[in-house]
């Protein structure tokens, strides 16, 4: 089954001296056995695989993507900056054509980090993929980018950051939110009124196996990618769908992962979750790396692989067939669906309550977007956290029109730092974060 | 008194040394198809009736194994791979005598699928039918648990040698270990034939002193030990030169070592006085091995490289058309530039100038000007390569935040140059790099000096798993039970003791054994949110350096 061999870059940063706490799933040795397996398989010696040292991200990289309260330095440590830097290095190697694709096998993870950051949630502080995507836009001028989040948990952070951005297609495949953290990611969540359809959610029932995962990739993801025509594809490569993962209930094997990666053909992959550190990660990562490099992955298998124990029920198969049809109908009707949330009004508001499980912080947000036919729309966010911080942020999601730009700058001027502890304006087109704070 | 001999591919060099002082040297062309005869000539010149009684040790560096690999003179060898799931078998190409044996050991060293004695017997019978006398066996994660490789050796009969991968290197890298085991078995006969000749010769000469062999890492081991591990002796030639350079560096600083030869220049580095090693192992003849070796970068620029003009600039190497024009060669070379400038006396100066004339004409320069331009270009090319190497060393991936932020960078304080054109080129290269330079006296026999002064080296890899209650010393194939309270301190003590034993058995001097723990990691093993044990990983070594 020799296919086209690709040059693959690997940025491996296991952060063997970083943990959330000593027995937390996100602890020092999470990638230890993965390292052992990659070394033992000799993957770094293959002619078409090259390892790179990650660079360290700067606060300007974080400010381009997030609104950090009170600032980037307070919500991210060196581990986060190196992990995000690893994603940036991966992007540079691909976009400067040193390699065909690259995998940032880094930790800590990032896909639960939302636009506004008051602390850590879902083991994440800053969003590695989003920081990478916004950097790619700034440095290489690429407009249409697709992110496919295959972590078992809904990629709610990435979804939140690009909710109003019609140029970033966010597809998340995950265990059904009714059965797992963070409890979101239903097909009806399709993006803001100006970007409806640019967010796609594919929840899978517990115990879905390889065939179910590959089915939704074939029936939903690939057709949508063909319609959207992204210039670049990013994979948020969580590995916690594995049948041996201790904190989820899915039945995916290393073969299933490798086949999925092969079909998605992502240019960039960034590691997310995955906590079966001995039984899954070593094999899943070898499978992903071989698939990205265009090498034969058919012999990659968990030594204890139990084919019969993880077979998918017919019920799940039938459910996924129906669900795919429904999601594809939503996708096909995305432009006509854009009309109802707006209903002729100039603005659209939504309220959100966000819980930072890792740091135990609760935040409430009121988010307002300007209805706009020409761009994603200027966004304002009024956010209060139970830490006592209330902030106001104005966001220009990028490729913004003149009217939205004007509205955003006016809103920033009008917001008084008296009422809010801090006021921000993030202008992605001009790559600037303005800030003013109360005395 | 120590006698060091380096049987190189063109010359065999010898040096007799006492208290780091060179007493006598000898040089003789190497007879390619009879390495032993070259060794004999040099030895007979240095061991005289006056010196023979005073020699305490003889250290030999030889290209026997290197040549056998590079020239493909390898014995037919059965390669038995216990590869299990992972990379597809076509990645392991050791020819038609490759056998894939079922079985699997995982990353924790747990045997998850046993080997089948019946299948081993079938392979054994097949090797016998084919008349194969040598075999190699490599199993995935055999350094974590050697049981399956050992079973293969036990159950296979009638062979002269069965090389096991875990005995040759303790590192995780199955393809490299497989290649290492294969080459070890495949050069076994050639190397041991040479060894017998050497032993026989010294017996006849009535010289009975400890006899050491130089390895790729610039360390030595006892001649008797080398018979089972001939692959350890590959690339000992470049290692000899680097150890020679080390001998002339006074201070333990970061330094650059350069050996400028006829066709190539080898670049090496020293960090605080110790030579840098190849992280994964050395490569030879298209094989990536797991053999620990000195980090050298060989570039195709040397005294005999052809000099041509390409796209308006001087291009040196990588081609070599023959000897320098001064010696009757067909093309101008850097050596001719040196001869034309009268910096080196060799052959005929008029031939050198004549060969440079067309280049001078094209560039509108005089002969001395073009000669100087060639030397500057050569120095610039070498300096550029050195800078690239340093950048690569500094950009080696690291896996902890601490190393990422606090990791040391290589900052060479000087450059030491050996080889034929060392003296005239060193100032130019030093100037390019902005570093002081050093050309040791008798730089032309630095290799033999390096061999003579090298100390015995070895390393050990320890894994203690207190959850399963087992400890392994990878290279020793040693496995033992440990109690659940076995600690990092216990592990340190054990590895130090075992390394000492091993070093002494390999011929190390018990005085001043310099044992260093190079890696030390302790990870918890967590089951269901509770700590159920520890995974302790240590590596210890006696690093390459000069004997006391």
**B172 Cα to chain A: minimum distance (Å):** 5
- Annotation says A118 is catalytic: no
If phi > 0 it is left, if psi is from -120 to 50 it is alpha, else beta; for residue B328 that is left
pLDDT digits 0-9 by tens, A190-199 = 999 999 999 9
pLDDT of A3 > 70? The answer is no
Beta carbons within 10 angstroms of residue A73's beta carbon: 11
Q: pLDDT band at A1, cuts 50/70/90?
A: very low
> Could you give the 3-state DSSP secondary structure of residue B5?
strand
- C-alpha span between A270 and A107 (Å, rounded): 9
Q: Which residue of B has its CA nearest to A305?
A: B85
Q: Is A17 on the interface with B (CB under 8 A)?
A: yes
Nearest alpha carbon to residue A353 among A345, A362, A344: A362
Q: What is the dihedral of CA A129, A135, A136, A140, to 10 degrees?
A: 180
User: Where would I find the H helices in B103-226?
Assistant: 117-130, 147-155, 165-168, 174-186, 188-204, 223-226
Q: Which one from A66, A111, A112, A348 is the annotated catalytic residue?
A: A112
8 Å CB contact between B257 and B269 = yes
Is B357 exposed, middle or buried, given 0-12, 13-18 or 19+ CB atoms closer than 10 A? middle
List, as ranges, residues 405-444 from B with C-beta within 8 Å of A: 405
Query: Which pair of tokens denotes residue B320?
Result: 């070599």
> Could you give the 3-state DSSP secondary structure of residue B497?
helix
Q: Average pLDDT in the B255-282 region? A: 93
8 Å CB contact between A233 and A292 = no
The Cβ-side half-sphere exposure at B460, using a 13 Å CA radius, reads: 26
pLDDT digits 0-9 by tens, A334-366 = 988 877 666 678 999 999 999 999 899 999 999
Q: Which residue has the tokens 């990379």?
A: B87
pTM (2 decimals)?
0.94
pLDDT number for residue B80: 98
Give me chain A's average pLDDT, please.
95
Name which of A28, A246, A301 is nearest B85 (Cβ-Cβ): A301
Q: Which residues of B touch A36 (CB under 8 A)?
A: 107, 141, 172
pLDDT digits 0-9 by tens, A94-127 = 999 999 999 999 999 999 999 999 999 989 999 9
Q: Which residues of B touch A306 (CB under 8 A)?
A: none
- C-alpha span between A87 and B103 (Å, rounded): 38
Name which of B113, B176, B404 is nearest A45 (Cβ-Cβ): B176
Query: Which pair of tokens denotes residue B321?
Result: 């058309």
Lowest mean pLDDT among A188-197, A281-290, B202-211: B202-211
Q: Which residue has the tokens 């190409």?
A: B93
Give me chain B's average pLDDT, please.
93
- C-alpha span between A110 and A105 (Å, rounded): 12
Sign of the CA dihedral running A308, A314, A315, A320: positive
CB contact under 8 A, A246 and B530: no
pLDDT number for residue B474: 96
Q: Is A302 on the interface with B (CB under 8 A)?
A: yes
Name which of B90, B401, B524 is nearest A15 (Cβ-Cβ): B401
Strand arrangement of the beta sheet that strand B98-100 belongs to: B98-100, B77-82, B134-139, B161-164
Nearest alpha carbon to residue B316 among B300, B336, B292: B300
User: Where would I find the H helices in A14-161?
Assistant: 32-41, 59-63, 72-75, 78-95, 128-140, 156-161
Q: Which residues of B touch A51 (CB under 8 A)?
A: 397
Q: Which residue of A has its CA nearest to B526?
A: A23
Q: Is A18 on the interface with B (CB under 8 A)?
A: yes
Write the CB contacts of B241 (distance below 8 Å, at least 6 apart in sequence): B257, B259, B266, B418, B419, B446, B447, B450
- Terminal C-alpha separation, chain A: 66
**A125 Cα to chain B: minimum distance (Å):** 17
Q: What's phi and psi for B194, nearest 5 deg?
A: -60, -45
pLDDT digits 0-9 by tens, A22-44 = 888 898 999 999 999 999 999 99
Parallel, antiparallel, or unpaired: how do β-strands B287-288 and B283-284 relate? antiparallel
pLDDT digits 0-9 by tens, B61-93 = 998 999 999 999 999 999 999 999 999 998 888
Upstream peptide bond of A70 is cis (omega within 30 degrees of 0): yes
In order of A171, A329, B485, B501, the CA distances from A187 in angstroms are 10, 11, 52, 66
Name which of B87, B402, B526 is nearest A17 (Cβ-Cβ): B402
Q: Which residues of A touch B86 (CB under 8 A)?
A: 37, 41, 286, 299-300
- C-alpha span between B21 and A41 (Å, rounded): 47
pLDDT number for residue A342: 64
In order of A194, A329, A337, A345, the CA distances from A334 in angstroms are 11, 9, 5, 19
């Amino acid at each position: 089954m020799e296919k086209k061999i690709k040059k693959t870059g690997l940025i491996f940063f296991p952060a063997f001296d970083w943990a959330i706490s000593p027995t937390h799933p996100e602890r020092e040795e999470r990638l230890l056995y993965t390292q052992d397996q990659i070394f033992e398989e000799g993957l770094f010696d293959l002619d078409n695989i090259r390892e790179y040292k990650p660079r360290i991200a700067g606060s300007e990289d974080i400010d381009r993507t997030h609104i950090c309260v009170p600032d980037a330095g307070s919500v991210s440590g060196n581990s986060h900056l190196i992990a995000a830097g690893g994603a940036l290095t991966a992007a540079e190697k691909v976009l400067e054509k040193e390699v065909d694709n690259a995998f940032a096998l880094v930790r800590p993870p990032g896909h639960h980090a939302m636009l506004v950051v008051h602390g850590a949630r879902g083991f994440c502080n800053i969003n590695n993929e989003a920081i990478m995507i916004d950097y790619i836009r700034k440095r290489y001028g690429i407009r249409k980018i697709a992110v496919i989040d295959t972590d078992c948990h809904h990629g709610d952070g990435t979804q939140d950051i690009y909710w109003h951005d019609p140029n970033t297609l966010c597809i998340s495949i995950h265990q059904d939110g009714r059965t797992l953290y963070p409890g979101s990611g239903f097909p009806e969540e399709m993006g803001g009124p100006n970007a409806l359809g640019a967010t796609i959610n594919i929840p899978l029932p517990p115990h879905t196996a390889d065939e179910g995962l590959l089915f939704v990739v074939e029936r939903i993801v690939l057709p949508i990618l063909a319609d959207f025509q992204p210039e670049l594809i990013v994979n948020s490569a969580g590995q916690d769908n594995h049948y041996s993962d201790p904190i989820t209930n899915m039945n995916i094997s290393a073969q299933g992962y490798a086949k999925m990666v092969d079909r998605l053909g992502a240019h960039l992959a960034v590691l997310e979750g995955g906590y079966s550190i001995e039984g899954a990660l070593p094999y899943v990562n070898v499978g992903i790396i071989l698939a990205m490099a265009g090498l034969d992955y058919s012999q990659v298998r968990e030594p204890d692989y139990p084919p019969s124990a993880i077979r998918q029920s017919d019920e799940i198969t039938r459910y996924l067939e129906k669900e795919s049809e429904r999601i594809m109908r939503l996708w096909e009707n995305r432009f006509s669906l854009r009309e109802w949330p707006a209903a002729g009004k100039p603005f659209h508001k939504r309220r959100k309550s966000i819980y930072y499980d890792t740091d135990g912080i609760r935040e409430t947000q009121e988010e307002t977007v300007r209805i706009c036919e020409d761009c994603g729309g200027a966004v304002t966010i009024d956010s209060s956290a139970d830490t006592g911080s209330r902030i106001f942020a104005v966001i220009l999601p990028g490729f913004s029109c003149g009217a939205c730009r004007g509205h955003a700058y006016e809103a920033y001027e009008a917001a008084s730092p008296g009422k809010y502890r801090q006021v921000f304006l993030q202008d992605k087109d001009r790559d600037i974060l303005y800030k003013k704070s109360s005395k | 008194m120590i006698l060091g001999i380096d049987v190189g591919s063109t010359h065999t060099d010898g040096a007799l040394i006492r208290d780091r002082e060179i007493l006598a040297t000898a040089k003789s062309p190497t007879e390619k198809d009879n390495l032993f005869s070259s060794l004999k000539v040099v030895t007979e010149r240095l061991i005289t009736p006056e010196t023979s009684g005073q020699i305490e040790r003889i250290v030999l560096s030889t290209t026997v194994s290197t040549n056998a690999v590079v020239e493909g003179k390898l014995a037919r060898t059965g390669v038995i791979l216990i590869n299990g799931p992972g990379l597809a078998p076509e990645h392991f190409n050791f020819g038609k005598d490759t056998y894939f044996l079922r079985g699997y050991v995982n990353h924790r060293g747990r045997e998850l699928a046993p080997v089948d004695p019946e299948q081993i017997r079938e392979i054994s019978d097949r090797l016998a039918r084919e008349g194969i006398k040598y075999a190699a066996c490599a199993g995935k994660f055999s350094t974590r648990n050697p049981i399956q490789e050992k079973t293969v050796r036990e159950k296979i009969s009638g062979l002269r040698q069965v090389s096991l991968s875990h005995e040759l290197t303790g590192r995780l890298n199955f393809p490299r270990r497989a290649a290492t085991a294969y080459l070890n078995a495949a050069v076994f006969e050639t190397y041991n034939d040479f060894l017998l000749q050497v032993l026989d010769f010294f017996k006849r000469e009535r010289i009975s002193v400890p006899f050491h062999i130089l390895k790729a890492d610039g360390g030595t081991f006892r001649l008797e030990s080398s018979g089972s591990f001939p692959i350890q002796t590959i690339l000992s030639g470049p290692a000899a030169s680097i150890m020679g350079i080390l001998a002339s560096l006074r201070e333990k600083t970061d330094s650059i070592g350069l050996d400028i030869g006829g066709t190539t220049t080898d670049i090496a580095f020293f960090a605080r006085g110790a030579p840098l090693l190849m992280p994964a192992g050395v490569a030879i003849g298209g094989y990536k091995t797991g053999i620990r070796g000195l980090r050298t970068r060989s570039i195709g620029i040397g005294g005999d490289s052809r000099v041509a003009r390409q796209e308006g600039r001087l291009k040196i190497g990588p081609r070599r058309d023959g000897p320098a024009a001064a010696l009757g060669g067909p093309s101008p070379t850097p050596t001719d530039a040196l001869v034309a400038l009268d910096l080196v006396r060799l052959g005929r100066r008029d031939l050198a100038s004549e060969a440079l004339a067309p280049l001078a004409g094209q560039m509108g320069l005089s002969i001395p000007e073009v000669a100087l331009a060639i030397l500057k270009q050569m120095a610039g090319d070498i300096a550029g390569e050195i800078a690239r190497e340093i950048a690569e060393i500094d950009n080696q991936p690291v896996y902890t935040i601490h190393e990422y932020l606090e990791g040391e960078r290589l900052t060479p304080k000087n450059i030491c140059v050996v080889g034929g054109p060392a003296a005239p080129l060193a100032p130019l290269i030093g100037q390019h790099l902005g570093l002081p330079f050093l050309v040791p006296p008798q730089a032309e026999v630095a290799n033999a000096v390096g061999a003579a002064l090298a100390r015995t080296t070895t390393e050990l890899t320890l894994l203690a798993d207190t959850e399963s209650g087992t400890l392994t010393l990878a290279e020793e194939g040693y496995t033992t039970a440990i109690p659940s309270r076995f600690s990092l301190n216990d592990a340190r003590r054990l590895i130090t003791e075992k390394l000492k034993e091993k070093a002494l058995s390999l011929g190390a001097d018990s005085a001043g054994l310099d044992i260093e723990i190079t890696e030390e990691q302790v990870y918890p093993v967590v089951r269901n949110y509770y700590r159920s044990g520890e995974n302790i990983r240590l590596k210890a070594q006696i690093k390459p350096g000069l004997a006391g």
